[in-house]
A and B are shown apart, each in its own frame.
Chain A
Amino acid sequence: MSIERPSNHDFPSEAEGMDLVYCRPETLTDLPFHYCPGCSHSVVHRVLMEVVDELNIQDKTIGVAPVGCSVFAYHYMNVDMQEAAHGRATAVATGIKRVLPDRFVFSYQGDGDLAAIGTAETIHTVNRGENILMVFINNGIYGMTGGQMAPTTLVGQVTTTSPYGRQVEFAGHPIKIADMLTQLPGAYYVTRQAVHNPNGVRKLKKALTKSFQYQKEGKGTCFVEVVSNCPSGWKMTPVETVKYLEEQMFPLYPLGDLKKPDGAK
């Protein structure tokens, strides 16, 4: 399938007497995102590519795209990308990193991918301490397939497969993957971030920059969870999802570094 990439951005190169302080990163392609309005996926795409731009590692970065809404991540990230079977992105990333150890390898997965079907791959990749960066988008729902219940769905959250809210007796408790991986010795840096406000985006950028630096030093697995939204799946407007994140998601998924190297700030 050939993808037409229209250059439909008429970004002004200069404004009178003013300096350019922020623009779309170069490593992001000109293709407009296909995500729903307000989706966190594209924010994470952009921040990831900003970090790649700033570290100047575009030609040395290999990403592994997941299955889910972000399956087309390779259309937007102008780095080498590989598609993986559902849940197996970290296994594919392991192979890439072992064959090409001088490259920067990251996997990018959602919660249906990483926390449900790919639980085994996730745990064993971290347990082996593979020297890769794992980006985990946790929005508590299967967004692409129509908003079904995921392992990370909150108790009482209404989805298409839990119309009366998730019940603990039937579906169990939401799984906290990042907390679980903290226990494994192979995990070097585990953090949970969000992109619901500008400060969250700044912190995520710092976390991703640190992760790539740790990968350069060969420290071990870096795991960055991003608690994000799904306006279409949650049946909310993007502005309402910010409130829902703050009131419902963050009490269960508190933000911050869960495991950081000794002596790190």
Chain B
Amino acid sequence: MIKGTVKIDAKICKGCELCIISCPQDGLGLAAQFNDKGYRYVELIEDNCTGCVNCALVCPEAAITVFRQPKPAKKSVEKK
């Protein structure tokens, strides 16, 4: 499985949980802490992100940046 990761800007997250319900891996969750605005922000709680971009697409705050491992390069290495 391709691995990815998300970086969530906790300062502007408003904890609307739309990314949590859209994550197919159930890898996101609300943090126990609050941010400066008083919202419980979202963070990556499971290390199973595939970089599918679903959470970033529905994020109303545009707070999510998605990274993914490069696909073709990895496959060619495995074949050798």
User: Which A residues are within 8 Å of any B CB, using their own CB?
Assistant: 8-12, 14-15, 17-25, 28, 32-33, 35-43, 46, 195-198, 201-202, 231, 237-239, 242
Contact = CB atoms under 8 A, between A and B. Distances in A.
A196 B15 CA distance: 16
Given A38-B16, A237-B17, A15 B67 contact: yes
Interface of B: 3-5, 7, 9, 11-12, 14-18, 21-22, 39, 51, 53-54, 56-70
Given A37-B39, A38-B60, A42-B60, A22 B11 contact: no
B14 A38 contact: yes
Contacts of A10: 9, 11
Given A18-B69, A25-B62, 13 more contacts: A12-B7, A14-B67, A20-B66, A21-B4, A21-B67, A39-B60, A46-B62, A198-B53, A202-B57, A238-B16, A238-B18, A239-B16, A242-B18
B53 A22 contact: yes
Contacts of A32: 11-12, 61
B contact patch SS: loop
B60 A37 contact: yes
Most B CB atoms within 10 A — which of A12, A32, A36?
A32
B4 A198 contact: no
A42 B65 contact: no
Nearest to A17: B69
Most A CB atoms within 10 A — which of B7, B15, B39, B61?
B61
B44 to A, nearest CB: 12
Contacts of B66: 20-23
